[in-house]
Amino acid sequence: MVRHSAGILLYRRNGSSLQVLLAHPGGPFWTRKDLGAWTIPKGEVHDGEDVLAAARREFTEEIGFAPSGEELDLGEARQSSGKRVHIWAVRGDWDPTGLVSTTFPMEWPPRSGKTQTFPEIDRAEWFPIEQAHEKILPGQAVFLDRLQMYNV
């Protein structure tokens, strides 16, 4: 069964520069990773759940902010893992210092028997679209391209 995720790509204009909000995954695996590690805030769609509603829920859970506004459907893309991801873009502004992310438990260090709690997202930042292409997970770059085609 193919997993399906949905998310929101928040964007804004800073003068003539298009900027997008990307999130850095939390947890020990991602701590020292930067280029090619950032993500669009997204998460799993539950069985029977409306995909756009899931995108909005996941963004709010991972970031702690509920964007409002018209959604631009950026479509779907299959990730290297086989997961299908559907993304909408929403114009808005938000201060990343207000990040409040949900957490997850994980045995850490491995085979230690100790469980630690980590944030799903440890930080978020606004990036000019050119820099976002360097920062984002390669399989999600297609959504940045699609946003640029809207000429927002």
pLDDT at 78: 95
The range of the structural domain enclosing residue 111 comes to: 4-149
CATH code (residue 49): 3.90.79.10
pLDDT at 2: 75
pLDDT at 72: 97
For each of the chain's 152 residues, which pLDDT tens digit applies?
778 999 999 999 988 999 999 999 999 999 999 999 999 999 999 999 999 999 999 999 999 999 999 999 999 999 988 899 999 999 999 999 999 999 999 999 999 999 999 999 999 999 999 999 999 999 999 999 999 999 88
Whole-number Å distance between alpha carbons of 92 and 80: 29
In 3D space, the residue among 72, 99, 83, 98 whose CA is nearest the CA of residue 139 turns out to be 83
How many structural domains is the chain composed of? 1
